[in-house]
Amino acid sequence: MKGIRFFGVWLVMLFAISAEAFTLPEQAACRPGKTVSLCLSLESGDSVTAFLAQAESESLSFVRCETGETLKSGYTRSFGEGGKGSFVFAAGDGITPAGEGEAVTFVFSAPDEPGEYTVQVTVSQICGVDGEMTDQAVEKTIT
């Protein structure tokens, strides 16, 4: 928790959560018929206590989500089918926010034919320590 101590009481300083708290790769590569991993990372400076991440492709098949060390203390759930995977994070033990670093890795399998394929990644419902949800969303297409 970020704050200042004032006469024995912690005053919590509220920070606006920005969509820039999340970073994604521009490109990823894999061999035909193999898997490709797309890592969603959290940058320092923002206190994220919940979010929903979705990755979708018309050509690749969703395999699984791998939770990063920065989210190990919270509640996580992943699910997917076909070319779409979703991942939910909610902070554990009260309002302890997520840390900095790798948050979640989406793993997809590539078709047997070589080519260039895209994955649309969206991060939404981003919530801060004050319980406020940002109306911003991260949307990125990765080739």
Q: For 44-74, how does the pLDDT look when each residue is reduced to its tens digit (9 = 90+)?
A: 646 788 889 999 999 999 999 999 888 878 8
- List beta partners, residue 1: none
Q: What is the pTM of this model?
A: 0.79
The predicted structure's pLDDT at residue 2: 36
The predicted structure's pLDDT at residue 22: 75
Q: For 84-110, how does the pLDDT look when each residue is reduced to its tens digit (9 = 90+)?
A: 999 999 887 655 566 778 889 999 998
User: Under 8 Å CB-to-CB from 131, ≥6 apart: which residues?
Assistant: none
Tokens 């050509």 belong to which residue?
59
